[in-house]
Amino acid sequence: MINKLEQNIDEASLRDNPGIPGEGGSSGDYLKSVEQRVAQKNDEFTRRFGPEIPRFMSNVMELRKLQSGHEADLEKLAKDVIIEHYGDILDGVNLNIRFPKQQGEIKQTAEKVPMEPPALLKPLEDDGIISEIHRRKIAKNITQGEGKNTKLILNLTEVRDRLKIIMGAEKGEKYLDLLNKVTETASFFDWSIPMEVQKEMWERNKDGFSGSVDVSWETPEEDESGDLAQKILDELMDSDDINSDDAEELFDQTSPTINALGTDFAMLLHETVKGIYQLIIAIAIPDDSDTAETIISNTDTLADELEDLRYGPEIAADLRDFINRFPESNKITNLRERVLGKMMLMEAKDFLDLFLRILQDDESAMDDVEEIITDIKKEISDYEMGAAGFDTGEDDLDDEGYAIPGGQGEEEEEVELDYSKLSQRELRELVDKFLDSGDFDEIEKITPWIKESRQVEHRKKINEAKDKIPMMMENPNYKK
């Protein structure tokens, strides 16, 4: 809710947020259900890892001892993993993922986060701004939640294998085990330590932060963009209007950089994913600087972050589970990030209405999100066909909304994919597709681009498929 309007201090909370099911709603009190879920998880954690709780700081120190001397390799691994899983939506985004080089670097970033929202001269009365605050509050929870939910990436086979290569088999296994214990214990503390106590702790000592992220916007070297920027400034001096083409060209030359700092490998992933989501939700920030400042100041405080750390992982997980019900979740990379981006372009009230129905598992939300996914498929198809030099129309899409290779005529030549430019996930999906059709010639073309850590699994799949060739030949889709 927007708290204490009569006292001229605003702070967003999930309580009474119109995008969150509340008391008396068809789904009951959503936040209470989240608290019950987390309580069960924490009880299970206490049963399994109770002795690890008082060893938290010693585990943290052991982590840092194990990773000492391997920082550069771990930074590279973090960047590789992020590109593998988010590369399709990071076009033009620079990644600066690293361990702190000097004492106090993380603290400097943390100090930019205000403890409380500023006092206002008058209560907020604009319904549009209040809706934007509610929307950003939910989006910040998703951001924080997706950052914490990187445990799934952390425990991938390729990550485990790379850690063993970097540190040696025994130390790599121990390092990953400690990362899991530390991250799970930290999540336990998010709920077991009262928020007011956490807030006082961070107010006294920001050196305790284990990670931070900010997004900066950069332009090319001065000799590339300086003249254009000066031209735009000169136009502003001469009149109130600027050449829109010049402004667009300068904007196109700028690129965002995600600056992620972390004291261990898990925090590098956590903060980078938060940075990716910060870029996604930034789409909704209004152009008007005063309005933007009002919205951000009421959602981006330390108190907000402490609440977001609690509820965010469950809210993000529920959104993920909802979107994963669509078959496209296995066909379109980063579908939930793309869907969230589309939702951030909606009017704030429409966003809140749709998100409420998503959390309520309302069937009408399925219809609305399906429309969003159809738009996403169309945009991807248009982009791919445009990149291949084809004009795309409605007739160029198949029944599922994907582009038909060759465009508008059967005479068009089929465009051969450049496998070197595809992500590992896309390559694996193609391998599965060609295995189903028995197209081993195409599989052999893909093989050199499969990561070494996947080669054994890749070869095993091929051998198993070849053993089934007699059965596959009976399949009418088998490519002879």
Segment 236-245, tens digit of pLDDT: 455 555 455 5
pLDDT of residue 67: 97
- Predicted confidence at residue 166, as pLDDT, reads 97
CA distance 66 to 425: 30
* One domain for residues 442 and 309: no
- Phi first, then psi, for residue 213 (nearest 5°) are -150, 140
CA–CA dist 257, 93 (Å, integer): 6
Taken in order 119, 125, 128, 133, the sign of the CA dihedral is positive
**Residue at a domain's end among 276, 293, 313:** 313
In contact, 281 and 344? CB cutoff 8 Å? yes
397 falls within a domain? no
Q: What is the pLDDT of residue 479?
A: 41
pLDDT of residue 49: 84
Asked if 309 and 425 sit in the same domain, the reply is: no
The parent domain of residue 479 ranges over 421-480
Tokens of 305: 């972050």
The whole-number pLDDT of residue 167 equals 97
Strand partners, 96: 259
Residues of the chain below pLDDT 50: 1-10, 24, 26-27, 121, 222-225, 228, 232, 236, 242, 247-248, 250-251, 406-413, 453, 469-480
Task: Supply the pLDDT for residue 132.
Answer: 95
Per-residue confidence (pLDDT) for residue 189, from 0 to 100: 93
Query: Looking at 286, 313, 340, which one is the last position of a domain?
Result: 313
Place of tokens 């499969």: 450
Q: Are residues 20 and 158 in the same domain?
A: yes
140 shares a domain with 270: yes
Query: Is residue 48 a part of any domain in this protein?
Result: yes
- Domain edge (last residue) among 294, 313, 332: 313
Q: What share of the chain is helix, strand, coil (3-state, %, to 5)?
A: 65, 5, 30
Closest CA to 202 of 104, 308, 58, 306: 306
Phi and psi at 119, nearest 5°, equal -70, 135
Q: For residue 272, how many other CB atoms are within 10 A of its CB?
A: 27
Residue 45 falls inside a structural domain: yes
Q: Give pTM, 2 decimals.
A: 0.74
Q: How far is CA 138 from the centre of its chain?
A: 14
Q: At 20, which amino acid appears?
A: I
Domain assignment of residue 152, yes or no:
yes
User: Quick check: is 395 in a domain?
Assistant: no
Residue 176 lies in a domain: yes
Give the model's pLDDT for residue 121: 43
The number of distinct structural domains making up the chain is 2
- Asked if residue 236 is part of any domain, the answer here is no
Q: Which residue has the tokens 């076009």?
A: 91
**3-class DSSP state of 96:** strand
Range 309-330 burial, b when 16+ CB lie within 10 A, else e? bbbbbbbbbbbbebbeebebbe
The whole-angstrom separation of Cα 111 and Cα 351 is 31
Nearest to 225 by CA among 263, 251, 206: 251
